[in-house]
Amino acid sequence: MARLLIVEDDLNTLSGLIEILSDEGYDTVGVKSSTEALRLLKNDSFDLMLTDLRLPDKDGLQLYEESRKFNEEMITIVMTAFSSVKDAVEAMKKGVYEYLTKPLNLDELFITIKKALQEKQLLEENIELKNQIKHSCSFENIIGNSKPMQSIFKKIEKVSQTQSTVLIRGESGVGKELVARAIHYNSPRANKMLVEISCASLPETLLESELFGYEKGAFTGAVSQKKGRFELANGGTIFLDEIGEISENVQTKLLRVLQEKEITHLGGTSSIPVDVRVITATNRNLEVALKNGRFREDLYFRLNVIPIIIPPLRERREDIPILLEHFVIKTCRENNKPLMKISDQTLEMCLNYEWPGNVRELENAVENAIVLGEGDTIIPEFLPLSIFSDPTREIFSELNEKVNDDSYRKKIDYAERMILKDAINKAGGNKSKAAKNLNISLRTMRYKIKKYRL
């Protein structure tokens, strides 16, 4: 229930407004002067204040300005006679939401109050959403307790406070977009736009128009002018994912933006200045692209000012248990299911799996297990078949069983002996043929046969 404060020195008008607005479902309080209103506002909270412009002690505009010391979010609507409309318009310039002329039209009053409260609610929800996004994307909440991830967190913290261009590198699914968001939402640009675009998802012509905008008539279908992503991100940050996929033409135009800090619409002639921080990401080897002439060297050095390399999940397996726990809690909550436990066998399987899809694949596997699983424990059978039947896991399990030792050297020797034995058997005992099949010399073959006593 919205709370309304009415300030009106005419008692008949005041009591009438309290009655009709209470009937409309509002929690309504009325006072006769600015002094009484300010005393209330100092200790109480209201969503909207409806005040007369002419009051016996201070006028409605003075009341509005002083009320903001206690509650900046409260909406103020002013009531005025026709002779004071000029003053009411002046009040709106200072932030008053609307003015209504006396005698009041009740339908107009109800509509104005309802609209004002709806806009206030939308504004509050937008602020809350921004706060939630900022919290969920802050670098402290990117999950990882391993040394590589802790090092990345420290780098994000430092980089966030600068204007430097950042290039985030890593395999698909490692969370490059999360790092980009963390940098933006912990930076001085956090209150401005973060504009994200995947460069690989759009063909060259469409990507160019999306990034830089276009003028009316620039091409068939361009019926009006359109701002590009760089203009939308002005004052904020633009995140260009999969930057290694852009064409040479787009590379050239992007280099100009980085050098000159201005863009030109497709079909346009005038330059438009832009103040944008650029963060890019790629899973490609840009150095190979440089050698092959598929990526401009000057653009590479412009983008690679601050490199952040995110290791794949298989290189930071110590993060898997806490990631599992995080995704189990998150998925159970989202699907209104009781919190599930993770069996020791499931944990071991996840620790041994290579995770080619990285953190994204792990999250999907957890969701699959929770949505399709039964009971209160996630067992291996609930995991996707690709993980449950992973041949790498089976090989490691056999090695761990046959070689009861933590030494990787002994496991390598055991595996090599089994491979040699299999190659000799398949070659019918012909060691020369076996060596050829293994792509090793006969001398090396004889040495290993002697070493492993085959």
Based on the domain organization, do 289 and 341 belong to the same domain? no
**Do residues 163 and 274 both lie within one domain?**
yes
The domain that contains 388 carries what CATH number?
1.10.8.60
* CATH number, residue 58: 3.40.50.2300
Domain boundary among 101, 129, 157: 129
Q: Which two tokens stand for residue 102?
A: 């006396």
Residue 168 has pLDDT above 90, yes or no: yes
**Same domain as 145, residue 113:** no
Residues 125 and 40 in one domain: yes
Residues 12 and 59 in one domain: yes
Residues 150 and 240 in one domain: yes
Cα gap 111→398, rounded to integer Å: 74
- At 413, the pLDDT band (50, 70, 90 cuts) reads confident
Where in the sequence is the domain holding 302, given as residue range(s)?
Answer: 140-311
Quick check: is 30 in a domain?
Answer: yes
Residues 163, 233, single domain; the answer is yes
| Domains of the chain: total | 4
The strand ranges marked E within 25-119 are 27-31, 48-52, 75-80, 98-101
Domain of 411, CATH number, reads 1.10.10
119-133, 259-273, 403-417, range with greatest mean pLDDT: 259-273
Q: What is the pLDDT of residues 45-71, one digit of tens each?
A: 999 999 998 888 888 888 999 998 898
Q: Are residues 288 and 427 in the same domain?
A: no
Which domain-ending residue is among 311, 334, 364?
311
| Residue 307, CB-side half-sphere exposure with 13 Å CA sphere | 10
CA distances (Å), origin 107, targets 26, 111, 355, 356: 15, 6, 63, 63
Last residue of a domain, one of 129, 148, 170: 129
Mean pLDDT of 318-326: 92
What integer is the mean pLDDT of 108-124? 89
Is pLDDT of 396 > 70? no
Residue 134 lies in a domain: no
The more confident residue out of 16 and 81 is 16
Nearest Cα to 182, choosing from 153, 203, 206, 150? 153
Determine the pLDDT at residue 397.
57
Q: In what order do the strands lie in the sheet with 306-309?
A: 194-198, 237-241, 277-282, 166-169, 306-309
Residues 302 and 318 in one domain: no
Indicate whether 360 belongs to any domain: yes
pTM of the model: 0.60
27 in any annotated domain: yes
Domain presence at residue 61: yes
Residue 397 placed within a domain: no
**Position 42 pLDDT exceeds 70:** yes
346 and 272 within one domain: no
Same domain, 377 and 409: no
Looking at residue 244, its pLDDT comes to 94
List residues bridging with 3 in a β-sheet. Answer: 27
Q: Is residue 111 assigned to a domain?
A: yes
Return the pLDDT at 185.
92
Is 14 found in the same domain as 104? Answer: yes
- Domain-embedded: residue 161: yes
CB burial of 188-211 (b: ≥16 within 10 Å; e: otherwise) equals ebbebbbbbbebeebeeeebbbbb
DSSP 257-273: HHHHSEE--BT--S-EE
